[in-house]
Chains A and B, each alone.
Chain A
Amino acid sequence: MGSIEETVNFDQLLGAPHPEMEINCKEIPRINSVGVKAWIKYFQSCQAKGSKIRFVECSTAIVEQINLISNFTCGGTVESIFVPFSCSGCKSELAGLFKTEDLKKIQLKLPDLKCSKCGSKAVFDDLPEEYFGFLMR
């Protein structure tokens, strides 16, 4: 999908609302404020038409917006998110995909990951109360 900015046209990109919509957000590295406005306008119209919306593989940029704006998902469900990790050895940025249901089950106690580059331990790299804020609402 790419960055969501003022040039994005959701009607063209995603078409008319469907009864069931799965939105894969993996490839959204960045969204600016006008992109947020366009996003909410589009998905609110979907919500108004009764669409059941599921957001999957949400990038960190999308998770940040879900946390910042209470109605960002417009009644949709967030099924899975990328969780940022940082390698304690080589400092590489890593991301693990987690189902939100599983995150709740483990009470947000994340397992340490093994860095795919150097094999060192990788730890969660954000503020838990902020990154997982939407799961605690």
Chain B
Amino acid sequence: MSKTLLLISRRSEDQAFAAEVALTAGLEFTQVQDSKSGADLVSQSAADIIFVDVSSPELYASFEQAVQETVGLFSDKVNANSIHFLTFDDLEKAQYLVQSPLFGHFIMRNYSDPKEAGQHYGRIVKASLAEKAFGLAQLLKPNSKIQVIKLSVSSQKHNAVEAVKAYLLAAKFQSRMATVVANAVDELLMNAIFDAPVDDLGRQILSTIPRSTVQTLEGKNAVEMHVGFDGQYVAISAINFYGSLDKAKLLSHISKIYVKEEYKVRTSTAGAGIGLATVFRSGGSFFFISESGSRTEVIVFFKRTDNFREFKDQFRFISTQFYF
């Protein structure tokens, strides 16, 4: 039996996007206009992937209510890994989604070209349906070259970041774009080196030590960086072997910005807590994949564009895939 993608939306651009996602991911496409109809369909036969328009708190509330009244929020038929929220707003304006128990994937609807965005995102969806979503190869166009860099000591981070920048410049990314991507890589590697390590009780081991401390990255502390470019999108992953990613903490960091309120320097942690939010606002998309106690891959995607304006305003998403 073929797997299905259910779209709950009245918007034609969502239809164009989701249909292309379904095609790319090899899914049967179904569309309904409202959450009630969608939840009814889900209760009859579980949808493998659900795309839902939650552009306003009201639309989200109607979806949550419909799910609650039909299959229940914690039913086997609905799993956060399979739910993709569609909105116009950046995540900081959609706090109602950050707090949702159904949060799995977040898509900002600036598709620009729905077909092209659908193909890109379709690869994410396809990977999320595989036994495990790990690995860059399935997230880029076929035959994209992937380079693997293993860091043996934390002080190599600087050179790794500069190497990515040089690679992107060679791939004809504008200098400013290459700098933005390099900064994203810097944040990902820093998190993998210093935030991922936890003890047996799940408590962070290195979160308070200064980020300039030189750490050996061997055994469980190993950190890898994979870089791939398919001629359109660059994807870079930072990999650690703790599998300690905390979804609630992740979402609170990534949705927190300081445009209106003041940033307060906290001395209780060595990290700044602003890296991921900055990357997302700079045009980057994220795919967080974590298998508890085993492995976490954080992948950032950027599309190469003709100018920086398009780069910053590109189609964007935050996807999460957790295995327990």
Contact = CB atoms under 8 A, between A and B. Distances in A.
Interface of A: 5-7, 29-34, 36-37, 40-41, 44, 60-61, 64, 67-72, 84, 86, 91, 93, 125-127, 130, 133
5 contacts: A7-B158, A29-B179, A32-B186, A70-B258, A126-B308
Contacts of A40: 263, 265
Interface of B: 158, 174-176, 179, 182-183, 186-187, 190, 210-212, 257-263, 265, 270-275, 278, 281-282, 306-309, 312-313
Contacts of B190: 6, 32-34
Contacts of B258: 68-71
Given A33-B271, A33-B272, A36-B274, A127 B313 contact: yes
B261 A60 contact: no
Contacts of B257: 68
Given A91-B307, A126-B312, 15 more contacts: A5-B186, A7-B212, A29-B179, A30-B179, A30-B186, A33-B275, A37-B274, A60-B176, A61-B179, A69-B263, A70-B258, A86-B307, A93-B174, A93-B308, A133-B259
A110 to B, nearest CB: 13
Contacts, number: 89
Given A5-B158, A29-B179, A126 B275 contact: no
For chain A, what secondary structure do more than half of its interface residues adopt (helix, strand, loop), or is it mixed? mixed
Contacts of A130: 312
Residue picked from A31, A32, A41, most chain B C-beta under 10 Å:
A32
Contacts of A72: 263
Contact of B308 (A29, A33, A70, A86): A86
A39 B64 CA distance: 43
B181 to A, nearest CB: 11
A68 B212 CA distance: 24
A67 B257 CA distance: 11
A36 B272 contact: yes
Given A69-B263, A84-B176, A34 B271 contact: yes
A87 to B, nearest CB: 10
Given A7-B212, A33-B273, A36-B272, A67 B265 contact: no
Contacts of B282: 64
B262 A70 contact: yes
B176 A30 contact: no
B281 A68 contact: yes
A88 to B, nearest CB: 9
A33 B179 CA distance: 14
Contacts of B271: 33-34
A61 B175 CA distance: 12
A130 B257 CA distance: 14
Contact of B270 (A34, A125, A126): A34
A40 B263 CA distance: 9
Contacts of B262: 70-71
A30 B265 contact: no
Nearest to A60: B176
Given A6-B210, A86-B308, A125-B307, A70 B261 contact: yes
A127 B307 CA distance: 11
Contacts of B158: 5, 7
Closest 8 CB pairs of A and B: A6-B211, A33-B272, A33-B275, A37-B272, A71-B262, A6-B212, A69-B258, A86-B307
A125 B309 contact: yes
Contacts of B278: 33, 68
Contacts of A133: 259
Contacts of A30: 179, 182-183, 186
A38 B136 CA distance: 34
B313 A37 contact: no
B187 A32 contact: yes
A34 B272 CA distance: 5
Contact of B183 (A32, A37, A71): A32
A127 B309 contact: yes
Contacts of A125: 307-309
A126 B310 CA distance: 8
